[in-house]
Amino acid sequence: MGTRALIKVFDVDGEEICTIYTQTDGYPDGWMLDVARFLSERKLVNGFNKYDVVNGMNDLVAQIVTLLKLKDFEVLKHYIMKKKSEYFHNDPSDEVHGMILAGGIYVMPAGTKDVDEEWVYHIKPDDAYVSAMKGGCLFGVEGGIIIEVYRPIEMFNSSNGLKLVWKGTPKEYVDEFGSKE
């Protein structure tokens, strides 16, 4: 059985945009480490200006889902290359279609919980970005991203809810959880 996790993405108002559900590799040095590495190389902006940015939190969701689906394919292909025809039913000349596989990573409605998750991650804009956006600055805003790592409290034989176990930037996340490799 896999380690299930929820990745919840929030907007500048603190509202959850969506939940990304992972069926496996949900521990901190699994899929979330790949997400943190990816995000550590990008800036959060409002207004597209180059390719190493995330253009707001909705774009962040799309980029994370794309990353996870492509990473899922990368992991899976190592196990099944000998049986390629059984798993990849798309035209082999169209490589992108063959890389988008069913399962593993799902976009769920905001507020999704209680799917036997062992880890919950919150991804939010940092205070500087929130302040600039709420201050009426519409373009040219740059900021950072904050990751919070939670464990469901029921795992600690307590009441419902989440227990914060770590908080920081994507780079700090990579430093904390990437060192175990």
pLDDT for 95: 62
Looking at residue 165, its pLDDT comes to 96
Q: Assess contact for 43 and 57: CB atoms under 8 A.
A: no
HSE-CB for 4 with a 13 A CA cutoff: 13
How far is residue 123's CA from residue 126's CA, in Å, rounded to a whole number?
A: 9
Cα–Cα distance between 53 and 59 in angstroms, integer?
10
SS3 180: helix
Q: Quick one: 64 exposed, middle or buried, by C-beta within 10 A (0-12, 13-18, 19+)?
A: buried
Confidence at residue 55, expressed as pLDDT on a 0 to 100 scale? 86
Domain total of the chain: 1
Give the per-residue pLDDT at 17: 96
Look up the pTM and report it: 0.83
Per-residue pLDDT of the chain (181 residues; tens, 9 = 90+): 589 999 999 999 999 999 999 999 999 999 999 999 999 998 888 876 667 788 889 999 998 988 888 777 665 555 555 455 454 555 444 566 666 667 788 999 999 999 999 999 999 999 988 988 888 766 677 888 999 999 998 665 555 589 999 999 999 999 999 976 5
Residue 40 belongs to domain spanning? 5-180
Residue 82 pLDDT: 46
Residue-level pLDDT at 124: 97
Q: Closest Cα partner for 7 from 121, 173, 108?
A: 121
